[in-house]
């Protein structure tokens, strides 16, 4: 089992230890989702989804209002902001102490969420590539930043992605972008290899098999494989019938040193974390 590297991140003025992996529950505000049960586009559904992930023991809530599934075309910034305002108000009323991440690639959306609603973290699928103001914005906002690798853009990213060596290419890319953030004084950067974003089935499993190589970056590692096509395509099933496969991959990711798992199914992931953490404490 891969030893878990020790990191802390500054969340709303306090240090959050990642010595025990964290579960990040997905709250998806878009109706355009590859996994419909996670979608919460109305106030009533936001309340319901929020209660479920809180009751199941999530450590963080990742809120997104712009679909980034393969083939998606997204929404306007105004539509994204409107949906986020609705959801963030509900979250702050129901769970004011919750650690909230917002899944956005737009700098103006990030600014609104942090400055108006006290959001703790920004999760950017494009590592600043889809809005060239994002890195400067994160440096000004001084919040942790999840930086994901993606080849292309969501609308076309699954059209014949190519790599020399997918793991080496992802590590090299993330190292370069992290250096640009460090040059701006950004301290809390979390890396995400971007399973399913501009990668074939073989690319995804090569990444998972060599996941420990991402620790060369010396930054916390987030993994998001929940109910993705690397599960249901391999098993010839559907996103709705992919919990067992997702659980298997989450367990592997934990054993390879993942610090944060981004998931639809908080309870199942919470159990994975507890079991792997127990094993790690028995044999550090």
Q: Inter-axis angle of helices 243-255 and 201-209, to 10 degrees?
A: 40
What is the mean pLDDT of the segment spanning 6-33?
92
The pTM for the full model equals 0.94
Domain span including residue 184: 22-278
What is the mean pLDDT of the segment spanning 32-57?
85
pLDDT at res. 41: 81
122-168 pLDDT per residue, tens: 999 999 999 999 999 999 999 999 999 998 666 565 657 789 999 99
232-250 pLDDT per residue, tens: 999 999 999 999 999 999 9
- What's the burial of 13, exposed, middle or buried (CB within 10 Å: 0-12/13-18/19+)? exposed
Q: Please report whether residue 66 resides in a domain.
A: yes
Catalytic residue among 22, 199, 256, 262: 262
- At 60, which CATH number? 3.20.20.20
Cross-strand pairs, 15? 10
Q: Please report whether residue 2 resides in a domain.
A: no
In the structure, what pLDDT confidence band is assigned to residue 38 with cuts at 50, 70 and 90?
Answer: low
Q: Please report whether residue 203 resides in a domain.
A: yes
Q: Say if CB 226 and CB 263 are below 8 A apart.
A: yes
Q: How far apart are CA 12 and CA 192, in angstroms?
A: 21
* Residue where the block lists tokens 């390879």: 256
pLDDT at res. 156: 61
Q: Say if CB 122 and CB 110 are below 8 A apart.
A: yes
> Is pLDDT larger for residue 30 or for residue 184?
184
pLDDT > 70? residue 18: yes
> How many separate domains does the chain show?
1
Q: Please report whether residue 107 resides in a domain.
A: yes
Nearest to 150 by CA among 134, 165, 133, 166: 166
Q: Please report whether residue 211 resides in a domain.
A: yes
Catalytic residue among 52, 227, 228, 280: 228
- C-beta atoms surrounding 283 within 10 Å: 6
pLDDT > 70? residue 34: no
DSSP 224: -
pLDDT at res. 66: 80
Q: Is 228 a catalytic residue?
A: yes
Nearest to 22 by CA among 33, 11, 37, 35: 11
Q: Please report whether residue 260 resides in a domain.
A: yes
Which residues does 17 contact at the CB level (< 8 Å), separation at least 6? 6, 7, 8
Q: Please report whether residue 13 resides in a domain.
A: no
Q: Is 262 a catalytic residue?
A: yes
70-118 pLDDT per residue, tens: 655 678 999 999 999 999 999 999 999 999 999 999 999 999 999 999 9
């Amino acid at each position: 089992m891969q030893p878990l590297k020790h990191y802390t991140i500054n969340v709303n003025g306090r240090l959050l230890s990642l010595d025990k992996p964290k579960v990040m529950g997905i709250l998806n505000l878009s109706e355009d989702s590859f996994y419909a049960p996670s979608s919460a586009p109305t106030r009533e559904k936001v309340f319901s989804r929020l209660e479920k992930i809180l009751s199941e023991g999530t450590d963080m809530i990742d809120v997104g209002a712009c679909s980034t599934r393969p083939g998606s075309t997204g929404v306007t910034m105004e539509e994204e902001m409107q949906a986020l305002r609705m959801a963030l108000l509900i979250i702050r009323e129901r769970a004011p102490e919750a650690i909230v991440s917002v899944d956005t690639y737009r700098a103006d959306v990030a600014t609104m969420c942090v400055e108006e609603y006290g959001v703790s973290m920004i999760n950017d699928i494009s590592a600043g590539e889809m809005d060239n103001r994002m890195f400067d914005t994160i440096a000004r906002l001084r919040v942790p930043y999840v930086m994901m690798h993606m080849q292309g853009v969501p609308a076309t990213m699954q059209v014949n992605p190519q790599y020399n060596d997918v793991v080496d290419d992802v590590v090299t890319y993330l190292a370069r972008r992290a250096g640009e953030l460090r040059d701006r004084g950004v301290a809390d950067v979390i890396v995400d290899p971007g399973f399913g974003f501009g990668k074939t089935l073989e690319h995804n499993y090569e990444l998972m098999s060599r996941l420990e190589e991402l620790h060369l970056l010396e930054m916390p590692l987030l993994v998001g494989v929940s109910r993705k096509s690397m599960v249901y395509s391999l098993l010839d099933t559907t996103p709705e019938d992919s919990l067992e496969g997702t659980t298997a991959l989450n367990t592997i990711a934990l054993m390879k040193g993942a610090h944060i798992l981004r998931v639809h199914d908080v309870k199942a992931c919470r159990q994975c974390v507890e079991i792997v953490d127990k094993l790690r404490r028995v044999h550090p």
